[in-house]
């Protein structure tokens, strides 16, 4: 899946919308209506990623022995592993949210 698909599925899982469009230059979604929208950037914004994790009950697990981070949701059997850095943590959360959307579809 590309970033647009991952973001759209993550937004769907969290009930975030309506989604107006994907902004490829900023790697984010426009949320709201055309006159009053906001950018949703959980792949780049710590706050958006953390709010997404909280809303969906995603747990963040740090695996220092493997130098990686995981985002998991036990009810949906989701576990995503990424590199242990800021971007990897945000990406793991968003990918886990996308997998939740796929599991509940």
For the chain, give the mean pLDDT: 93
Higher pLDDT, 47 or 62: 47
pLDDT of 103 > 80? The answer is yes
User: Peptide bond preceding 18: is omega within 30 degrees of 0, i.e. cis?
Assistant: yes
Q: Is the pLDDT of residue 2 over 80?
A: yes
The full set of domain ranges for the chain reads: 3-104
Residue with tokens 């590199």: 83
| Per-residue tokens: 57 | 């009950």
pLDDT of residue 78: 80
For residue 2, give every residue at least 6 positions away whose Cβ sits within 8 Å of its Cβ, in sequence order, or none.
Answer: none
pTM for this structure?
0.92
Predicted local distance difference test score (pLDDT) of residue 13: 97
Give the lowest-confidence range in 17-21, 28-32, 77-81: 77-81
């Amino acid at each position: 899946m590309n970033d647009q698909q991952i973001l759209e599925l993550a937004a769907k899982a969290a009930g975030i919308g309506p989604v107006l469009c994907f902004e490829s230059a900023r790697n984010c979604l426009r949320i709201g209506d055309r006159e009053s929208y906001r950018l949703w950037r959980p792949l780049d914004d710590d706050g958006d990623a953390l709010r997404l994790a909280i809303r969906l009950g995603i747990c963040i697990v740090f695996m220092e022995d493997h130098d990686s981070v995981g985002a998991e949701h036990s009810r949906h059997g989701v576990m995503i592993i990424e590199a242990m850095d800021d971007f990897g943590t945000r990406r793991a959360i968003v990918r886990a949210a996308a997998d939740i959307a796929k599991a509940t579809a």
